[in-house]
A and B are shown apart, each in its own frame.
Chain A
Amino acid sequence: MSSYSIQSQKLSKLFGRRLIFKNINFSWSDTGIFGISGPNGSGKSTLVKIVAGLIAPSQGKIIHKNSDGEIIPEKLHNHIGFVSPYLVLYEEFSAWENLKIFAKIRGITLNEEMVIKYLAKFLLENRKDDLVKTYSSGMKQRLKFIFALMHSPEVLIFDEPTSNLDEEGKKSVYEIAREEAKAKIVVIASNEIKDLELCDEILLLEKFK
């Protein structure tokens, strides 16, 4: 059981003079699937990037804590697995090379057994040595999930997780989300009803304009 928590304190974000959202407060802890929903342009992707420490809020604060205390922003990437349509893997390398490179840059040993299991789950086992540039958009999306899971993070953040995926791919994602949420925090930002049906709590962004 995870003792991880994410707390937001009066989060606001402006791009130039345009307000995206203001005064978002939430507290997610331990385990479960937490949803973020809202119409296009409501700031779902911006909020998940702030939660992942990829961009800074204009106002407010986001605090990640685990059993060792507050996690400093420098180290946050080690605790987070992130899937997003904006995420692009290195197309000049194969899937397997990408995953090996990521493990080395993270400073961890690639758990080959676990990665092969994920490759099989996401139906990429036979294509793992092909260059990513030869993959379809759905295959690239499935590879992103392995990228997010390979370092066993304490938090999983899925931004529009089922975009570009066929029914088989969506099923795998839902299984992974349910399975992982038993032991960690899973955040899903989406407008898809099926994606949001998985969530224990949903944050509606149109309330924060």
Chain B
Amino acid sequence: MITQSYSLFKKDFSSELRTRYAINSLAMFIIVAISVILFSIGNETITTSLTGGLFWVVIFFTAMSGLARAFVSEEERGTTLTLQLIASPSTVFSGKLIFNLILVFCMNLVIALLYSALFEKFVVQNFSLFLLTFILGNIGLAVSSTIIAAIIAKAGAKGTLYPVLSFPILLPLILTCVQLTLFSFDGTSFEEAKFELAIVVGYDVIMLTASYMLFDFIWKD
């Protein structure tokens, strides 16, 4: 199944390079969102906690603008039936998840680099904690976004439904990641952050398990 999922990911990657469905919208959104924040701040210095919060706000809305494409593009092009005929539901979900994981990691790496270059309060004291938060947060974001994208792909008002449905599901993850990011700015140790880390790990495991269990029902109409 792993090889087949990887082949599906490669198909999506080649397709993305040719059609630029997600990459362009994500890149534009990152630039626009960070520019708007910089313009609104002006010459004022924002606090560390606000910087950490805004970092995840940009990540959340960027994910909302691009990650739904994994399934929505198949639905819009009418190729969902083709996928159903060539792969099992778990292969499809894994392939789409790999694509979204890589997209979310690349996208958030760019956001993190831009933040560290443009926001003076974006200074990480405990880099290992920040890195772990970044990795776990991205996994949770990719898993949740992928399964929500599969749910909304067949709906009429996809554009509205995606952030509306994602918000309550992603809220526990985003809030905990904001807290962990602030801990990493403060230089808090792993020991002190273990409760929040346990929440994020638990969230990732629950979402991943639930997604694989539910996807079969979502995929088969």
| Contacts from A to B (Cβ < 8 Å) | 52-56, 73-75, 77, 80, 82, 84, 86-93, 101-102, 104-107, 147
Note all chain B residues with C-beta closer than 8 A to A55.
220-221
- Shortest Cβ gap from A144 to chain B (Å): 9
Q: Are A89 and B82 interface neighbours, CB within 8 A?
A: yes
Provide the bound-state CA to CA distance between A55 and B221, in Å: 6
Interface stretch of the complex, out of B23-31, B88-96, B111-119: B88-96
Chain B min CB distance to A149 (Å): 13
Complex: A75 Cα to B88 Cα, angstroms? 7
CB-based contact B4/A77 at 8 Å:
no
Chain B, interface size category, equals 20 to 34
Most central of B14, B82, B90 by chain A CB within 10 Å: B82
Tell me the nearest residue of chain A to B11, going by C-beta.
A101
- How many A-B Cβ pairs are below 8 Å? 70
- Give the dominant DSSP class at B's interface: helix
The one of B8, B81, B88 that contacts A54, using a Cβ cutoff of 8 Å: B81
Contact yes or no, A105 B88, CB < 8 A:
no
Residues in B neighbouring A90, C-beta threshold 8 A: 11, 15, 77, 79, 82
Interfacial chain A residues near B18, Cβ < 8 Å: 92-93
Residues of B within 8 A of A89 (CB): 79, 82
A143 CA / B15 CA spacing, docked (Å): 19
Q: Decide yes or no: A74 and B79 within 8 Å by CB, A92-B18, A105-B7 being known contacts.
A: no
Nearest CB on B from A89, distance (A): 6
Return B96 CB to nearest CB of chain A, in Å: 12
